[in-house]
Amino acid sequence: MPHRSTFPPLRIPDGIDLWSFLLGHRHRDFPVTKEILTCGETGRSYSWADVRSASIEFGKGLKARWGWKKGHVLAFYTPNSVDTPILTLGALWAGGVVSPANPLYTVDELAFQLRHSRAKGLVTQVAYLETAIAAAKKAGLPLDRVILLGAQRDPSGRQRHFSSIRSISYTGRYAKAKINPKTDHAFLVYSSGTTGLPKGVSLSHYNMVANVLQAAYVEGSQWRSQGGVDGKGDKQLGILPFFHIFGLTCCVLMSLYSGWQLVVLERFDMDKALQAIEKYGITFAYVPPPIILAFGKHPAVDSYDLSSLKVLHSGAAPLTRELTDAVWNRLKVPVKQGYGLSETSAVVCCQVVDEWAKFMGSVGKLMPNMETKLVGEDGKEVAKGEPGELWLKGPNVFSGYFENPEATKAAFSPDGFFKTGDVFRRDQHGNYYCVDRLKELIKYSKSKRSHPLSFLGQISLTALSPRRLSCPTSRARGHPGRPQRRCRCVCYRRRRSCPRNRGAASLRSPS
């Protein structure tokens, strides 16, 4: 018997696209002049009204300069920027589909996504331009369709800045695209599991609207868009990458919907993150476990006033009790967990802050309007309290993988449940606990296999060093007689000037 969410069902509108839902009507409890996006380093900011007008200008510019059509894909190859939401929403206004890519991608990896998504344009920054240009050439994307965001301009003058598209004249005749929220896609994100090439996850406008409403119902009661010490309400630290569905939904879209100020950092840097918390009075942040580790162990934490911080929300990977205890014992800041996937528009489960310590190790309760099955290897639902593969159904669940009917068919049960491949158990209170990963064993020799969750545990153990944690990264690693493979690393910095990717401590598969 499927388990339904313990939260009351919500009314999910099925006739509104994502841009209109976020920016089309003034139905929020905060003023249009409220600062929503702020660069944590420069202070450059956009109000809600700025986001609305700038996104329309960019959308009109796409139509005027590039002849943008409904369904055209705009790819992003950039770290976080306060400009990213402007261009994202502008593309949606014009009827486009947004496909973000990891800025650590190689030329071949980026070219694959550009080709597979059929991207009609690419947004990047000057520091990433060399790779972006090479990938565009390889994918057959015209170079005049590669544009820049951020403060820097192309020194050669060949690549336009997005502001030149925003400021194009005679765009008044262009109207917003007409969208069918349930069938038209808003995002095409790529899921990089441990099996095969990345798969394009098609997320509709309806999927995204549903997940914002679901998450806002569970999370929104804790935070305010106004009030507080400075009258500006709660503030979120935007260090999750916006190219990832977790950062896209929980940072960008949730802030625009709820009126929380999002203080954006280009990438995670411990000192810059701590400075931003102190300077802006950050009250909460969504982060992965390595950053939870940094808050618990990094020596610089003691040099800043972090008294504004109320809670940290961890996602993207399981979290150990040792890490939550380390943060609580040091800062008296609760650390709660959640669970989600690209295929579910991000959020599936989330702890409420009052229960963070009561159900330690849980990822919380199921989002409103969702239902689950826990299924054993025999294809039947498991007994109460027993672990089984998590199957999901809900308005936030994607419709399928882009141009991959075989993978789509394999991902869904005959009765329409999405098979996550993750093994969970459910307690009597409706809390879910991730206990295993069903399919995606990492093969590193003919006879040896390692479980991804083993790597996560080893990350925690390896990273519990007093040395300075820099950031997670990835690099190619070779072995005699074996093909070179990309592996995950944890970087430590002994000096402030240590370049990125130098001195990385690679994590080996336990053998």
Lookup: tokens for 343: 């295929």
Contact 397, 408 (CB under 8 A): no
- The model's pTM is 0.86
Give me the pLDDT at residue 449, please.
38
- Amino acid (one-letter) located at 439: K
Same-domain check for residues 411 and 264: yes
**pLDDT tens sequence across 205-232:** 999 999 999 999 998 777 776 666 677 7
Give me the pLDDT at residue 412, please.
97
Give me the pLDDT at residue 278, please.
97
* Residue among 459, 198, 426 at smallest CA distance from 318: 459
Q: Given a cut of 80, is residue 139 above it in pLDDT?
A: yes
Query: Which residues pair with residue 99 across a beta bridge?
Result: 75
Give me the pLDDT at residue 208, please.
99
User: Which residue is associated with the tokens 């072995």?
Assistant: 479
Same-domain check for residues 246 and 309: yes
Same-domain check for residues 426 and 466: no
Give me the pLDDT at residue 67, please.
93
Write down which residue in 437, 458, 490 finishes a domain: 437
**pLDDT tens sequence across 490-510:** 554 444 333 333 333 322 222
> Can you give the CATH number for the domain in which 103 is found?
3.40.50.980
Mean pLDDT of 471-492: 46
Q: Given a cut of 60, is residue 306 above it in pLDDT?
A: yes
Give me the pLDDT at residue 356, please.
86
Q: Does residue 24 sit within a domain?
A: no
> Is residue 194 very low, low, confident or very high in pLDDT (cuts 50, 70, 90)?
low
Please report, in angstroms and rounded to a whole number, the separation of the first and last CA atoms in the chain: 40
Mean pLDDT of 449-464: 41
Contact 128, 78 (CB under 8 A): yes
Give me the pLDDT at residue 506, please.
28
Give me the pLDDT at residue 28, please.
75
Q: Does residue 176 sit within a domain?
A: yes
**pLDDT tens sequence across 27-50:** 678 889 999 999 999 999 999 999
Give me the pLDDT at residue 228, please.
67
Same-domain check for residues 260 and 385: yes
Give me the pLDDT at residue 469, please.
42
Residue 8: helix, strand or coil by DSSP?
coil
* Residue among 40, 470, 23, 30 at smallest CA distance from 238: 40
Contact 367, 215 (CB under 8 A): yes
Q: Does residue 190 sit within a domain?
A: no
Q: Given a cut of 50, is residue 372 above it in pLDDT?
A: yes
pLDDT over 70 for what percent of the chain? 82
| Average pLDDT for the chain | 85
**pLDDT tens sequence across 80-103:** 999 999 999 999 999 999 999 999
How many domains does the chain fold into? Answer: 3
Same-domain check for residues 277 and 426: yes
Q: Does residue 317 sit within a domain?
A: yes
**pLDDT tens sequence across 159-169:** 999 988 876 65
Give me the pLDDT at residue 171, please.
61
Give me the pLDDT at residue 395, please.
98
* Residue among 396, 284, 389 at smallest CA distance from 18: 396
Q: Does residue 19 sit within a domain?
A: no
Mean pLDDT of 238-265: 95
> Is residue 115 very low, low, confident or very high in pLDDT (cuts 50, 70, 90)?
very high
Same-domain check for residues 168 and 223: no
Same-domain check for residues 213 and 245: yes
Q: Given a cut of 70, is residue 152 above it in pLDDT?
A: yes
Same-domain check for residues 452 and 423: no
Q: How far is CA 44 from the centre of its chain?
A: 22
Query: Which residues pair with residue 375 across a beta bridge?
Result: 381, 389
Residue 132: helix, strand or coil by DSSP?
helix
List the Cα angle 146/147/149 in 5-degree steps: 145
Spatial separation of the C-alpha atoms in residues 27 and 47, rounded to whole Å: 16
Contact 241, 287 (CB under 8 A): no
User: Which residue is associated with the tokens 């840097």?
Assistant: 269
Same-domain check for residues 76 and 215: no
Q: Which domain holds residue 156?
A: 45-180
Of 448 and 36, the structure prediction assigns the larger pLDDT to 36
